């Protein structure tokens, strides 16, 4: 199990900035694009081939027109070539909007399919992956315009194809007329290509390594503009400090970029000047040949055109290779993310999975959070009978929430086994396991959705189209009264990101409770389910608790004795170990940790009796 966890969080292979990676990523991107929309890919590549052939055809036709006109008296001899020249121009002009259309459509299709692929893969990764800061960087790199980079790479590949065809065909025309200039430009182009490739690599690594910085900038702007944080940021007058930190980070990013832009411009300028000298030298050379009658006028004209296009094509090709290496490196972020193996899941067994009654057993469970030195749980063993209500008690950081997260399969234990009705969790399919568990988390989600959907999400496949069932759950859990007071009742959109109504912390918690009870699961896990509720609502919920839980196995984490006393049994955790268990009366009689906590609470209660609520805490403070 540990190795699976390590595998999941291990740093990925680093991508390389070379032509090999470009070819590998290019093939991968084209395959993906092809599987998404073969028609558009074909159109794009077909147009690239045709437009790649046009310049050389144009140059060749010009030569034929001029030579035919000079050597032949009849206009008819020159006519076919005279027709071909504008036809070639027309073809390249007419194909431009079609290419633009295909590119835009391909871009949208790739955006859709790539984004879905990322989200589907992310849904298969476990919680530990998302909590690792290195993986957070990787996720940010993947999310940051991955679809755009995919699309850029496919576009670059089409342009590479066009430029290569253009280069080869122009080369053939020039070789026919003046071969030496090809050699001179090649000598210049190779170091320029190397220079640009290295620059692309440097650029990529700078971007790669500054993802942490970028995440910080997003974090600061989120603090400064997010509706959850704005009130506190204003009251603490934190904005100037946060903006200072934001500015420093952004300035570093800007300065790094400027260095790259400067080097790229200087390299381009140098190559442009040297290339220009070669082209000029060749022009003078050919003009001399024409004067001496060693070259035809058509050849001179064709040569002038070809050489000018050839130089531009070489520069374009080098820049394009550098750009596509950069796009390919960015796409490597995506391939690395998609190659992160999700945790091995149990093979799907044919037939209906066995019914679950809700017996839970922890056998010698130890667990350490990835990157943490301390064990959050250390050799914890206990069992819970189906239908039993068990409370987990202990000071903050004792490991109570960790224990229930392991039961939910959100993390894998480092050692030991968890069983549900005698079946190892690791042998159950995640879908089957989750259908048997229902949670209210300490940090429960507040969905930007209607009140109805906030409950339906507890079992969306069954409930999204069953408003009566949702209302029945709301009535049973006491959420109905609160919902009735909302402006549009069950249809009120909750949350301030997309609507105008939100709830108090306690009201959100009540909805979370209704959501958990909406799922007809055998095991119910409640982690501080009433911490935000007022005394009356809490009392209402717990007076009908047995009916609500309907004989489900319940694990209840609470700091309140009023809640804890409802349990059949209490498990006391301290520093990741199970130190005591028994009923309230048994534990008080033992005079151990629980009795000490209870004593403390009574002293607190007697010296500071609660004014408004009957809230009592298992742990003081
Ligand atoms: P409790 O629920 O009893 O208050 P937790 O189970 O939340 O305690 O935490 C147990 C220990 O594990 C604590 O030391 C806490 O700091 C640590 N811990 C909890 N969650 C994480 C996490 N996601 N990553 C790293 N450490 C964690």
Q: What are phi and psi of 363, to 5 degrees?
A: -115, 105
Mean pLDDT calculated for residue range 219-224: 91
DSSP, residue by residue, 77-138: HHHHHHHHHHHHHHHHHHHHHHHHHHHHHHHHHHHHHHHHHHHHHHHHS-HHHHH-HHHHHH
60-74, 244-258, 309-323, 494-508: least confident range? 60-74
Q: Which of 397, 408, 618, 621 to mutate to test the pocket of ligand 1 (most atoms within 8 A of CB)?
A: 397
pLDDT of residue 451: 96
Distance between first and last Cα of the chain: 37
Q: Whose CA is nearest to atom 1 of ligand 1?
A: 397
Instruction: Say if ligand 1 is within 6 A of residue 131 CB.
Output: yes
Instruction: Say if ligand 1 is within 6 A of residue 399 CB.
Output: yes
Residue 576 Cα to ligand 1 midpoint, Å, equals 9
Domain ranges (residues) in the chain: 18-338, 358-436+522-536+550-609, 444-520
Residue 574 Cα to ligand 1 midpoint, Å, equals 12
Residue 441 Cα to ligand 1 midpoint, Å, equals 13
Residue 491 has pLDDT above 60, yes or no: yes
Label the pairing between strands 389-393 and 553-557: parallel
Instruction: Say if ligand 1 is within 6 A of residue 365 CB.
Output: no
Which atom of ligand 1 has the smallest separation from the CA of 369?
25
Sign of CA dihedral 270, 273, 274, 276: positive
* Residue 380 CB coordination number (10 Å): 23
Instruction: Say if ligand 1 is within 6 A of residue 197 CB.
Output: no
User: Cα-atom radius of gyration of the chain, to the nearest Å?
Assistant: 35
Q: Whose CA is nearest to atom 27 of ligand 1?
A: 369
- pLDDT bracket for residue 433 (50, 70, 90): confident
According to CATH, the superfamily of the domain at 444-520 is: P-loop containing nucleotide triphosphate hydrolases (3.40.50.300)
Instruction: Say if ligand 1 is within 6 A of residue 398 CB.
Output: yes
Q: Which of 378, 393, 399 to mutate to test the pocket of ligand 1 (most atoms within 8 A of CB)?
A: 399
Residue 9 has pLDDT above 60, yes or no: no
Residue 427 Cα to ligand 1 midpoint, Å, equals 26
Query: Are the folds of 18-338 and 444-520 the same?
Result: no
Q: Whose CA is nearest to atom 8 of ligand 1?
A: 397
Query: Is CATH 2.40.50.100 the right assignment for the domain spanning 18-338?
Result: no
Distances, alpha carbon 250 to alpha carbons 244, 246, 255, 428, in Å: 10, 6, 9, 48
Instruction: Say if ligand 1 is within 6 A of residue 394 CB.
Output: yes
Instruction: Say if ligand 1 is within 6 A of residue 506 CB.
Output: no
Q: Is 155 exposed, middle or buried (0-12, 13-18, 19+ CB in 10 A)?
A: buried
pLDDT of residue 589: 92
pLDDT of residue 488: 95
Residue 423 Cα to ligand 1 midpoint, Å, equals 27
Q: Whose CA is nearest to atom 24 of ligand 1?
A: 369
Instruction: Say if ligand 1 is within 6 A of residue 397 CB.
Output: yes
- pLDDT bracket for residue 234 (50, 70, 90): confident
pLDDT of residue 186: 77
Q: In a 3-state reduction of DSSP, which class is residue 437?
A: strand
Q: Considering only residues 258 and 541, tell me which one the structure prediction assigns the higher pLDDT.
A: 258
Residue 371 Cα to ligand 1 midpoint, Å, equals 13
DSSP state of 410: S
Nearest-angstrom CA–CA distance, 489 and 135: 41
156-160, 342-346, 492-496, 511-515: least confident range? 342-346
CA neighbor of 558 nearest in space, from 406, 432, 398? 398
Task: Using CA atoms of 296, 299, 305, 306 in order, give the dihedral in degrees to the nearest 10.
Answer: -160
Mean pLDDT calculated for residue range 562-591: 91
pLDDT of residue 572: 95
Q: Which of 127, 129, 130, 369 to mutate to test the pocket of ligand 1 (most atoms within 8 A of CB)?
A: 369
Residue 228 Cα to ligand 1 midpoint, Å, equals 24
Mean pLDDT calculated for residue range 492-510: 89
pLDDT of residue 616: 41
* Residue 258 CB coordination number (10 Å): 10
Contacts (Cβ under 8 Å, ≥6 apart) of 334: 114, 118, 142, 146, 149, 150
Share of the chain above pLDDT 90, in %: 33
pLDDT of residue 606: 67
pLDDT digits (tens, 9 = 90+) for 101-123: 998 998 889 888 888 888 898 88
Residue 407 Cα to ligand 1 midpoint, Å, equals 15
Residue 395 Cα to ligand 1 midpoint, Å, equals 11
Instruction: Say if ligand 1 is within 6 A of residue 406 CB.
Output: no
Label the pairing between strands 377-384 and 360-367: antiparallel
Nearest-angstrom CA–CA distance, 189 and 183: 10
- pLDDT bracket for residue 582 (50, 70, 90): very high
Nearest-angstrom CA–CA distance, 222 and 263: 34
DSSP, residue by residue, 279-315: HHHHHHHHHHHHHTTSS-HHHHHHHHHHHHHHHHHHH
Instruction: Say if ligand 1 is within 6 A of residue 372 CB.
Output: yes
Nearest-angstrom CA–CA distance, 58 and 51: 11
Residue 5 has pLDDT above 50, yes or no: no
Residue 621 has pLDDT above 60, yes or no: no
pLDDT of residue 12: 39
Instruction: Say if ligand 1 is within 6 A of residue 618 CB.
Output: no
Provide, for the chain, the percentages of residues in helix, strand and coil under a 3-state DSSP scheme, each rounded to the nearest 5.
65, 10, 25
pLDDT of residue 237: 85
Q: What is the CATH number of domain 358-436+522-536+550-609?
A: 3.40.50.300
Contact at 8 Å (CB) between 294 and 322? no
pLDDT of residue 1: 34
CA neighbor of 100 nearest in space, from 35, 166, 51, 31? 51
Which atom of ligand 1 has the smallest separation from the CA of 403?
6
CA neighbor of 570 nearest in space, from 587, 551, 592, 545? 587
Which atom of ligand 1 has the smallest separation from the CA of 395?
3
Residue 14 has pLDDT above 60, yes or no: yes
Mean pLDDT calculated for residue range 421-436: 86
Largest CA distance in the chain: 123
- pLDDT bracket for residue 400 (50, 70, 90): very high
Contact at 8 Å (CB) between 308 and 179? no
Mean pLDDT calculated for residue range 140-153: 80
Residue 401 Cα to ligand 1 midpoint, Å, equals 7
- pLDDT bracket for residue 350 (50, 70, 90): low
Residue 179 has pLDDT above 80, yes or no: no
- Tokens 């009796």 correspond to what residue? 609
Nearest-angstrom CA–CA distance, 64 and 114: 49
57-71, 72-86, 199-213, 580-594: least confident range? 72-86
Residue 599 Cα to ligand 1 midpoint, Å, equals 26
Show the DSSP H helices in 429-534 as ranges: 430-435, 451-456, 460-463, 467-477, 479-484, 505-518
Instruction: Say if ligand 1 is within 6 A of residue 25 CB.
Output: no
Instruction: Say if ligand 1 is within 6 A of residue 558 CB.
Output: no
Nearest-angstrom CA–CA distance, 370 and 97: 53
């Amino acid at each position: 199990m540990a190795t699976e966890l390590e595998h999941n969080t291990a740093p990925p292979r680093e991508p390389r900035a070379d032509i090999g990676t470009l070819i590998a990523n290019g093939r991968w991107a084209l395959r993906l694009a092809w599987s998404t929309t073969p028609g558009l890919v074909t159109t794009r590549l077909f147009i690239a081939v045709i437009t790649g052939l046009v310049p050389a055809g144009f140059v060749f036709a010009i030569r034929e027109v001029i030579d035919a006109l000079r050597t032949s008296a009849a206009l008819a001899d020159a006519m076919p070539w005279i027709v071909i020249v504008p036809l070639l121009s027309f073809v390249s002009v007419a194909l431009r909007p079609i290419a633009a259309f295909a590119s835009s459509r391909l871009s949208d299709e790739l955006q859709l399919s790539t984004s879905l692929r990322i989200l589907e893969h992310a849904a298969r990764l476990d919680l530990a992956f998302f909590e690792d800061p290195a993986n957070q960087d990787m996720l940010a790199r993947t999310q940051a315009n991955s679809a755009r980079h995919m699309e850029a790479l496919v576009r670059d590949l089409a342009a590479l194809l066009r430029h290569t065809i253009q280069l080869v065909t122009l080369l053939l025309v020039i070789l026919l007329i003046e071969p030496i200039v090809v050699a001179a430009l090649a000598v210049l182009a190779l170091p320029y290509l190397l220079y640009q490739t290295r620059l692309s690599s440097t650029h990529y690594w700078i971007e790669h390594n500054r993802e942490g910085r970028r995440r910080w900038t997003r974090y600061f702007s989120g603090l400064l503009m997010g509706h959850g944080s704005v009130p506190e940021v204003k009251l603490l007058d934190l904005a100037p400090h946060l903006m200072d930190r934001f500015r420093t980070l952004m300035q570093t990013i800007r300065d790094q970029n400027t260095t790259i832009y400067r080097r790229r411009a200087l390299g381009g300028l140098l190559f442009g000047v040297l290339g220009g000298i070669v082209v000029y030298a060749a022009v003078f050379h050919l003009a001399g040949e024409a004067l001496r009658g060693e070259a035809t006028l058509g050849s001179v004209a064709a040569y002038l055109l070809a050489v000018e296009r050839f130089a531009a094509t070489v520069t374009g090709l080098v820049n394009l290779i550098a750009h596509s290496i950069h796009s390919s490196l960015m796409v490597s972020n995506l391939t690395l993310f998609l190659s992160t193996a999700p945790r091995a899941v149990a093979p799907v067994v044919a037939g209906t999975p066995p019914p679950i009654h809700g017996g839970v057993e922890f056998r010698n469970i130890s667990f350490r959070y990835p990157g943490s030195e301390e064990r959050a749980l250390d050799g914890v063993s206990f069992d819970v009978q189906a239908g039993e209500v068990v409370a987990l008690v202990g000071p903050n950081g004792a490991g109570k929430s960790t224990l229930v997260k392991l039961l939910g399969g959100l993390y894998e234990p480092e050692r030991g086994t968890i069983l549900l009705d005698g079946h190892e969790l690791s042998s159950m399919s995640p879908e089957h396991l989750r259908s048997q568990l229902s949670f209210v988390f300490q940090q429960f989600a507040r969905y930007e959705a209607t009140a109805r959907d906030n409950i339906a999400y507890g079992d969306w496949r069954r409930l999204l189209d069953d408003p009566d069932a949702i209302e029945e759950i709301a009535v049973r859990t006491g959420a109905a009264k609160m919902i009735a007071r909302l402006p549009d009742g069950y249809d009120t959109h909750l949350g301030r990101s997309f609507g105008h109504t939100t709830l108090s912390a306690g009201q959100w918690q009540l909805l979370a409770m209704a959501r958990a009870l909406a799922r007809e699961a055998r095991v119910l896990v409640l982690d501080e389910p009433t911490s935000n509720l007022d005394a009356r609502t809490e009392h209402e919920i717990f007076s009908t608790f047995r009916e609500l839980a309907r004989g489900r196995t319940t694990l209840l984490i609470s700091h309140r004795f009023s809640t804890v006393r409802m349990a059949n049994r209490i498990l006391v955790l301290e520093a990741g170990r199970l130190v005591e268990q028994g009923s309230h009366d048994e534990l008080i009689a033992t005079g151990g940790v629980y009795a000490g906590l209870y004593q403390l609470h009574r002293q607190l209660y007697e010296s500071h009796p609660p004014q408004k609520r009957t809230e009592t805490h298992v742990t003081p403070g």
